[in-house]
Amino acid sequence: MNGKSYAIVMAPSAHKRYKKFGQNLQQKIKKETQKIANSPYSFKQLSSPLSILRTYGFHYQNTEYRIAYRINDKKYQIEIVLVKTRENFYDILKKVLKL
């Protein structure tokens, strides 16, 4: 890798949820996604049937959140698929991906 950070894009389903978060949490998510953009392969790859995705966790106001994303090396993009609290995260992720 050449040190260039990836562009962040949000899937429509992720953006819909993101808009419902308060402004402070939105800022925190932007900050955390920059960490992903700078080193997308550093975070956990999920197991089958979600193996096309990786996940990144962070805390905000004593709550654990997860970001599920996929890497598009051809476009040099990170697509955010889901941002949600840890509770039921993987069940919702499967629904979003229609698995």
Is the residue at 2 inside a domain? no
Average pLDDT over residues 11-22: 94
CATH number at residue 38: 3.30.2310.20
| Domain interval for residue 76 | 7-96
Averaged pLDDT, 76-93: 94
Domain assignment of residue 62, yes or no: yes
Percentage of the chain beyond pLDDT 70 is 97
Confirm whether 54 is domain-assigned: yes
In a domain, 79, yes or no: yes
Instruction: For residues 51 and 90, give the distance between their C-alpha atoms in angstroms, rounded to a whole number.
Output: 12
The answer to whether residue 36 sits within a structural domain is yes
1 is a domain residue: no
| The pLDDT of residue 98 is above 90 | no
Number of domains in the chain: 1
- Has residue 83 been placed in a domain? yes
- Order of strands, edge to edge, in the sheet holding 54-60? 7-10, 77-85, 63-72, 54-60, 44-45
77-85 and 7-10 beta bridge pairing: parallel
Rounded CA-CA distance 28/61 in Å is: 11
Q: For 33-58, what is the mean pLDDT? A: 94
Please give the angle made by the CA atoms of 66, 10 and 56, to the nearest 5 degrees: 20
86 belongs to a structural domain: yes
Return the pLDDT at 3.
62
